[in-house]
A and B are shown apart, each in its own frame.
Chain A
Amino acid sequence: MKSFSLLLRRILQTSISNIVRAPFVSFSVVLVMTVTLFIVGFSFLLGNMAQDVVDTLQTKVDTTVYFVKKTPETQILELKKKLEGLSVVKEVEYISQNQALADFQKRHSDDLDSIRGLEILPDNPFSARFSIKAKDTKDYEEIAQFLNNEDITSANKTTIIDKIDYYQNKEVINRLTSAISTTSIFAKLVVALLILISCIIVFNIIRLIIYLSRDEISVMNLIGAENFYIEAPFVVSGGIYGAVSSIAALIFLYPISVWLAPVVGRFFGNESFSAYYISNFLVIMVVLIVLGVCIGAVSSWASTRRYLKS
C-alpha cells in the first residue's frame, strides 16, 4: 500500500521533473514571477519607508501647556495624572520652572548677554510647562478641550493654565494630520494595487502553463488517478516557482536599492534606502517568499481544478 512518504516523494519527484523537463517554460514563469515579486517587494519597501517617516514625523509633533507662575506643583502633578489617564495621550513631560531655567542656561551657555540678562531679573521668568504627545495628531483638539475645562484646571477659581500652544499651531497640526493620513492611505492603496496586479499576472501565466497540460490531466483522470495525485505536483511546482522567484527578486532588490538610494533619500530625508532594505531584510524576505509560494501554489491549484473531472 501507498505510504505517505512514498506519495510525498513521488509528488516531489514529478514536480521537479515537470520543472526541469520544460526549462524554457520554467524560465519564463520564474522571470515573470521575479519581475512581479520585485515590484511587490520594492513597493512594500517604499510603502514601509514612507510609513516610518510619517510615524517619525508624528512623534515630533507635540503641544505645550504653560502654567501660571507660582501654581503649586501638587496641582500641576495632579493635572498630569489626569492627563495621563486619557486614552488619547501618549506621554506627558513635566518641566518645572527651575528645570526650564536650567535648560535655558545650558542652551545659551555661550551667550553671555542672555545669561547676564537673566541675572538682572528679580525672579525666574520661565513658567512650568507640560509637553504633551498625543497618540495621533488628530487627538490634540480633544486634549486642548480637556484642558479648557474649568472644573479640571481651576483651583480656588483661579486659572492655572496660562497658555496652550495648540491654538497657535492648530492650523499646521491639522494640515499635517491630513497630509499624514492621505500619504498613509495612498501608500497602502498603491502597495495593495501592485500586489493585486502581480497576483493577476502570476495567476494568468500559471493558468497558461496548466492549460498546456490539460490533455495530460484528462488522461491521468481516465487512468483513474485521484484528483489530489494529479494536482499536487502542479501545486508543488507552482510553489517552487514562487520560492525561486522570491529569492531572485530579493537578490535584485539590493543593487537596485543601492542605485536608487540618492533619489529615494531626497524624498525621505537622510534615510538610506539600501540600509533600510538591509535592516528590514528579514521581514521583506518572509513577505516575498510567503507571497510567492502562496500565489504559485494557489494559482496552480485553481488552474488544475478547471481541468479535473469530479
Chain B
Amino acid sequence: MSSIRFEGVSKFYEKNIALDGVTTNIPNGSFVTLVGHSGSGKSTLFKIILGEESPDEGIIYRDEKPLHVMASEELLTHRRRTGVVFQDFRLLNSKTVYENIAFAMEVLGFDDEHIYSDVPYVLGLVDLKKKMWSFPHQLSGGEKQRVAIARAIVNQPELLLADEPTGNLDPLNTYEVINILKQINKLGTTIILATHDREVVESIGGRVITMNSGQMVMDDAKGKYIL
C-alpha cells in the first residue's frame, strides 16, 4: 500500500509553467483518474512522481517521505515499488515478451525459479501466454500495452502509474486494459491513470482530478470533470 501527497508542487520549463502549485493527496488503494488535454501537466506530474524530474517548488511525499531527500538507492527502491505503463508502451525491443517482464523481476534480484513461475502467471492474467517468446515488433498495439501492464504489475507494485495507457488502442483493447487495471486496483494497488478520453474516464468512475495549464481545476470523488 502506498500514498502520494503533493504540497504546492510547481514545475517550469524556461518560461512555460508545466505544473502550478499542485496540492493533493492520493491515499492508499485508491484509483484516481487525471483528466486534461495535452500539455495540461499530467505527464509532468508522472515524471515528478517517478523522480525523472524534480519540482522547482513544493514537495512531493511518498508514504510521507519527501522524494527530494531520497538518496539514489532509495529512489531506485521507490521506482521498483512503482509500476509504470506508458502510452507508447516503452518495451525493451531487443527482448522477448518473457524477457521484458523477467527484466523487471531481475532488477529486484529475484532468482530464476521465481521468474520461471511468475512471468507465465502474469502473462496469463493479461492473456498473452501464447506470445511469450515473441518480440515487441511482432505484437499489435493492444498486445504491447498488455505486456507493459504485465511488466508493471509483475512485482506487485504498491503504486501503478498509467500514462494514457489506452491512447493507442481500439475500443475493444481499451475496455480490456481498463478491466485489467480495475482488477489490479481491487487487489490493493494504488492506481493513477492519466487520460483525455471521456469514455475511459466514465468507464472507470470514482475520483477524477481535472488539470488545466498545470493547475488542478477540479477534484471530484464522484467522477465529475471538465474536459
Contacts and interface: CB of A to CB of B under 8 A. Distances in A.
Nearest to B75: A224
Contacts of B151: 223
A6 B107 contact: no
Given A1-B109, A2-B109, A309-B52, A220 B103 contact: yes
Interface in A277-310: 309-310
A222 B107 contact: no
Contacts, number: 49
A223 B72 contact: no
Given A219-B92, A220-B92, A10 B52 contact: no
B109 A224 contact: no
A219 B94 contact: no
Interface residues of A, number: 21
Nearest to B50: A222
A249 to B, nearest CB: 28
Q: Of A213, A223, A309, which is in contact with the most chain B CB atoms at under 10 Å from its CB?
A: A223
Interface in B124-174: 151
Contact of B79 (A21, A213, A215, A223): A223
A223 B111 contact: no
B111 A222 contact: no
Contacts of B93: 215-216
Nearest to A6: B111
Given A1-B109, A224-B107, A225-B107, A219 B76 contact: no
Interface string B66-95: 000000100011011010100000111110
B87 to A, nearest CB: 14
A112 interface: no
Q: What bracket does the count of chain B residues touching chain A fall in?
A: 20 to 34
User: Does more than half of chain A's interface fall in helix, strand or loop, or is it mixed?
Assistant: helix
Interface string A201-220: 00000000000010110011
B92 A21 contact: no
Contacts of B7: none
B176 interface: no
B104 interface: yes
Contacts of A222: 50, 52, 79, 84, 90
Contacts of A10: 106
Contact of B104 (A6, A18, A223): A223
Interface in A15-64: 17-18, 21-22
B72 A310 contact: yes
Contacts of B107: 220, 223-226, 229
Contacts of A22: 94
Contacts of A18: 94
A10 B102 CA distance: 11
A22 B103 CA distance: 19
A24 to B, nearest CB: 13
A227 B107 CA distance: 11
A243 B79 CA distance: 36
Contacts of A21: 94
A224 B127 CA distance: 25
Nearest to B81: A224
Contacts of A216: 92-94
A18 B95 CA distance: 9
Given A222-B84, A224-B76, A213 B52 contact: no
Contacts of B72: 310
Contacts of B111: 2, 6
A220 B104 CA distance: 8
A227 to B, nearest CB: 9
A226 B92 contact: no
B219 to A, nearest CB: 27
A1 B92 CA distance: 24
B8 to A, nearest CB: 25
Contacts of A2: 109, 111
Contacts of B91: 219
Closest 3 CB pairs of A and B: A2-B109, A224-B79, A224-B80
Given A224-B79, A224-B82, 10 more contacts: A2-B109, A6-B111, A21-B94, A216-B93, A219-B90, A219-B92, A220-B92, A220-B107, A223-B84, A225-B107
Interface of B: 50, 52, 72, 76-77, 79-80, 82, 84, 90-94, 103-104, 106-109, 111-112, 151
